[in-house]
Every structure is written in structure tokens, then in C-alpha cells.
Amino acid sequence: MKSIKNEFKVFDTEAEWLDFRKGKITGTMASAILGKNPYLTNTEAWQLLTGKAEYKDIGDKPYVVRGKLAEEHIMKLFMIYNTQYQLEFKPKKNQRIMYYDSENQFIASTPDFVVRDTENNNRLGIVEVKTAEIIKTYKKEEWKDNKIPNNYYIQVLQEMYTTNAEFGILLVELIYGSDYIVRKALYVDRNDVQDDIDYLINEEKNFYQEHVKTNKRPPLLIMQ
């Protein structure tokens, strides 16, 4: 496994974390650079990275509030039934943490949780928690056969890279209207995805050098 010299910072307030995030390619932004984010284009990501646009505050949106409230409980349920995982870092209330590549500090992420697998050589891993309302047919297809949507998969890769994690787990709660809820734990082993991580990080470095540092707008990528 290729590793980097990574660092992290802990922030006591959301405002401090948001300020440090400026100019960095984070886990959610990484997929936009590849044209794989349904909510953010690569040109919009470029505008944010170059300071031409400001991040929108969506913290009060109902789906964001619900997701944040559910996150801790989903993780607690997972750990009750999977006792081999222990938290590597447990932030205090309202604290945020950001990991980044010390040599390329614009590559960063904030995993929901960082854990150790105590039954498997104490391997380091990240856990990302998502809730998704499945109200359209294409949404069902995205999660069919334990597939991970591209934007979430890329976020997991980014978090594994910045933390030097050996595995990633996507905990997802799929909400099918008022009928039923499905919870899944989707496991990603770094040995299986190292080529994808290498490709992602190389694309981020190229994007930063060719478009952010030069202030040159990238051509728009249409999500497939």
C-alpha cells in the first residue's frame, strides 16, 4: 500500500473548519473534478477553489439536519453489531477534524469516523455515513447489488488516501418513502482499489496545477 505523510487538524468550531477548507479539494469536491458529482460541476468546483464563488450554507436544509442527527445513531448501531471496530478519534461535541496530504495540502477530507479493526491486525479504516431517500427509479439502480454511487465511492477513496486508511466502510440508510428503511455496510479494501486512488489523486494534482494555480477555467464535464 502506498502511503503519504498525512497530517490533521482539529477545529473547535464549524467556522474554523470552514475557513481552513477554503482552497482545498475535499472528499465531496473530488468527484466534481471528475465530472461525477450530481450536485456540483467541475467548473463550480473550480470557482470555489479559486475564490470566485462562496460555499452555500445548506446546514439548515431539512435533509442535512436529518442526516446529521441520524449519523451518530447509525454508527452506534453498526458498532453494537460489529464490536471489532473501535474509534481512533472521538471528537468532542461540535469539533471537526480535517486530514490532508502534507506535501499536497490542497488534498483533504473530513471522514465521519476513523476506526481500528481490532480483530484484523488493528487495521486503520474510515467510516462514511449517508442517508438517501429512494424516491425515483434511477436512485434504486444506483444502489442495486450493493453498488456505491460514483460520488460516494470517490469520497471514500479520498478519505482513505488522506488518512492512510487500509479500508473504508460506507454506512448507508436507504429510505424508501414511508414503507421501509434498508441499512447497508459497504466495505472497500484498499488493496482492491489502489489503482483507483492513484488515478483520483493524479487527476486532482493535474486539476490543481493546470486550473487552480493558473486561474484557467476548465472545460465543463457532463456527468455520465
Q: Which residues pair with 9 in a beta bridge?
A: 98
Q: For residue 224, is it within any domain?
A: no
Q: The C-alpha cell of 188 is what?
A: 472497500
The predicted-structure confidence for 66-105, as pLDDT tens digits, reads as follows 777 889 899 999 999 999 999 998 777 778 999 999 999 9
What pLDDT sits at residue 137? 56
* Distance in angstroms (rounded) separating the CA atoms of residues 118 and 53: 44
| Angstrom distances, CA of residue 87 to CA of 112, 116, 130 | 11, 6, 18
Confidence of residue 132 (pLDDT cuts 50, 70, 90): confident
Whole-structure pTM value: 0.92
Q: What is the mean pLDDT of residues 191-215?
A: 98
Q: What is the mean pLDDT of residues 198-205?
A: 98
Average pLDDT, the chain: 90
Q: For residue 120, is it within any domain?
A: yes
What pLDDT sits at residue 59? 61
Q: For residue 86, is it within any domain?
A: yes
The helix (H) or strand (E) run that includes residue 202 is: helix 190-207
Q: For residue 124, is it within any domain?
A: yes
Q: For residue 1, is it within any domain?
A: no
Q: For residue 43, is it within any domain?
A: yes
Q: For residue 92, is it within any domain?
A: yes
Per the structure, the count of domains in the chain is 1
| Residue 152 belongs to domain with CATH number | 3.90.320.10
The predicted-structure confidence for 146-189, as pLDDT tens digits, reads as follows 899 999 999 999 999 999 999 999 999 988 776 777 889 999 99
Residue span of the structural domain in which 15 resides: 6-212
Cβ contact 140:91 at 8 Å: no
Nearest alpha-carbon partner for 1 in 163, 147, 170: 163
Q: For residue 220, is it within any domain?
A: no
What pLDDT sits at residue 62? 67
